[in-house]
Amino acid sequence: DELCFEFGLELDEITSEREIISKEQGDSKASDASDVILYKIDVPANRYDLLCLEGLVRGLQVFKNKLEAPRYRRLSPDSGESQRLIITKETAAVRPHAVAAVLRNITFTQERYDSFIELQEKLHQNICRSRSLVAIGTHDLDTISGPFTYTAKAPGDICFRPLNQTKEYTATQLMSLYKTDSHLRHYLPIIEDKPVYPVIYDSNDIVLSMPPIINGDHSKISLKTKNVFIECTATDLTKAKIVLDMIVTMFSEYCAQPFTVEQAEVVYPDGKTCIYPELAYRKEKLSGEFINKKVGIRESTERIAQLLTRMCLLSQPTGVGDEIEVEIPPTRPDVIHACDIMEDAAIAYGFNNITRTTPHTYTVANQFPLNKLTELLRQDLAAAGFTEALNFALCSQEDIADKLGKKISETRAIHISNPKTAEFQVARTTLLPGLLKTIAANRKMPLPLKLFEISDVVLKDESKDSTFFPGRCAEIFVRGTSVGRLGVLHPDVIGRFELTMPCSALEMDLEPFL
């Protein structure tokens, strides 16, 4: 726990497979589970180099000065001719970018193989945005032959045997097959409406993969695989480069020449040729004073350079004043600004080691009057036996119109120009729909259900309210200004929320009471 904290991470839990299953499914289901200790560690979302055991252990060893940060190198193949991936113009309509590389003479064990697959899945869910930006394909190079062609074809024209299947399917059949697959069905919408699907062939017309859905079974990797061909197809080239760099840097330590990667050529439709992986090192310069001032410490440039080197950022004083030159390796795409370097210096120094000081400037803080009033109201309502609900500020048009007995054209609603879902089409003009939906979701609970919500609403123009039962409602005025309404909700409104019991409500604007 202490080591993780020193490195800027958080040890979330120490558990075991048996303990996890026991909690979720009961002791009877956990009888055959493993007792091996598992450490759950929270990793920052942009630290892709810490998503696998190899990167995490390597980073901790460098941090504790037990290992020097490795130097990653891109090599030409011994044969002199690089593997080539040729992109055709048809891919522009669906997934235009691709990068590639080769891990040569790699040695897998079961643990290494599992970590290799797990890292791909973590990257897919993280930087790849569920494969919508980047999809990773890994293949046993000894089962295929280059050059490889990345193209796009009509679904009916693509036919191959997908991973872990026993027969061939067309792409159209695969989309139907995987609609019920708990894992792959989430990726189908990425391409299913496209006129053509992306596909990668080798020189013998063997399908390597149909990104971003599935790889071919012919080229699948195993524990016996010695040479791995890695391809990443993408809609975002920058993300694809990062993903490729991350995979090869993490697992090149298992190659015959550790931390070396064999280059591959990618030929674009216009004839342009690029060499991947880039494995680019870049240098930044900043002053020791900048870091000292921002972190709140007083260290020499030599000491700051040592701190940064412990974070895998090889650094040294330039000799010009207090200037420090910092080298950012290809494993650290999260470092994009001097502030990121400063943060790593603070982590290496130790947040608990920073001396507490009194601020040089003073301010008088006060709670906003509206917040103070609402907090008092929350306490009183809770003391009266009401439970506070917190609902989304966005809702559907139906919630604030049809279900409340209104026409959407008559409401004072602000409409979202590009709603991502029907549940978030407009900003709420009233708190009632959210509360009624909360009651509907909890209608099996014992009555009475007493809820309240104090939150913002968004209003545009005046409209007539027909939410309440005629003759059973009242309008509230403060100093001649209408601030709300109370009364019995109309039976039609209650029915639209699938409720069967009468409901009364009070809604009012609190700002006039300030």
Tell me the pLDDT tens digit for each residue of 104-161: 999 999 999 999 999 999 999 989 999 999 999 999 999 999 899 999 999 999 999 9
At residue 464 the predicted structure's pLDDT band, cuts being 50, 70 and 90, is low
Structure tokens at 46: 């942009």
- Report the pLDDT averaged over residues 282-297: 92
Residue-averaged pLDDT of the chain: 90
Residues 178 and 88 in one domain: yes
* pLDDT score recorded for residue 16: 82
The total domain count for the chain is: 4
Q: Each residue of 303-322: pLDDT tens digit?
A: 999 999 999 999 999 999 99
Let me know whether 334 and 218 are in one domain: no
**Element (DSSP H or E) covering residue 6:** helix 2-6
Q: Is residue 248 part of a domain?
A: yes
Note whether residue 50 is domain-resident: no
Quote the CA–CA distance of 268 and 282 in Å, as a whole number: 26
Q: Are strands 214-215 and 394-395 parallel, antiparallel or unpaired?
A: unpaired
Token pair 């009877």: residue = 28
Please check the confidence at residue 463 and state whether its pLDDT lies above 60.
no
Average pLDDT score over residue span 13-33: 77
Q: Residue 246: its pLDDT value, please?
A: 95
C-beta of residue 148 within 8 angstroms of C-beta of residue 208: yes
462 confidence band (pLDDT: 50, 70, 90):
low
Q: Is there a single domain that holds both residue 287 and residue 249?
A: no
Q: Percentage of the chain with pLDDT > 90? A: 60
Asked whether the predicted pLDDT for residue 503 surpasses 60, the reply is: yes
pLDDT tens for 175-192 read 999 998 888 888 999 998
Same-domain status, 382 and 470: yes
Whether 16 and 38 have beta carbons less than 8 Å apart is answered as yes
**Confidence grade of residue 461 (pLDDT, cut at 50, 70, 90):** low
- 83 to 240, 398, 402: CA distances (angstroms): 18, 57, 61
- If asked whether residues 232 and 293 sit together in one domain, one would say no
- For residue 64, give every residue at least 6 positions away whose Cβ sits within 8 Å of its Cβ, in sequence order, or none: none
Name the residue among 270, 250, 272 with its Cα closest to residue 259: 250
Residue 354 lies in a domain: no
Task: Give the residue from 276, 305, 326 where a domain finishes.
Answer: 276
- pLDDT value at position 465? 65
d(C-alpha 73, C-alpha 71), whole Å: 6
Beta bridge partners of 282: 328
**What is the pLDDT, as a whole number, of residue 423?**
87
For residue 193, being part of any structural domain is answered with yes
CB 199 within 8 A of CB 212: no
**327 and 384 part of one domain:** no
The CATH number of whichever domain residue 11 belongs to comes to 3.30.56.10
Range of lowest pLDDT (65-74, 108-117, 218-227, 350-359): 350-359
**Strand 83-87 relative to strand 148-153, pairing:** parallel
Most confident stretch, 78-87, 227-236, 476-485, 491-500: 227-236
Least trusted range by pLDDT, from 77-81, 248-252, 368-372, 458-462:
458-462
CATH number for the domain that contains residue 110: 3.50.40.10
Which CATH number belongs to the domain containing residue 447 in this structure?
Answer: 3.30.930.10
| 433 and 303 housed in the same domain | no
406 lies in some domain? yes
Average pLDDT over residues 50-79: 91
Radius of gyration of the chain (CA): 30
179/210 same-domain check: yes
Kindly state whether residues 257 and 295 are assigned to the same domain.
no
Q: Output the pTM of the full model.
A: 0.71
258 and 297 housed in the same domain: no
Query: Residue 481 sits in which domain range?
Result: 369-513
**DSSP letter string over 64-76?**
TTSSPPP--EEE-
- The β-bridge relationship of strands 426-427 and 481-489 is unpaired
Q: In terms of domains, do 374 and 469 share one?
A: yes
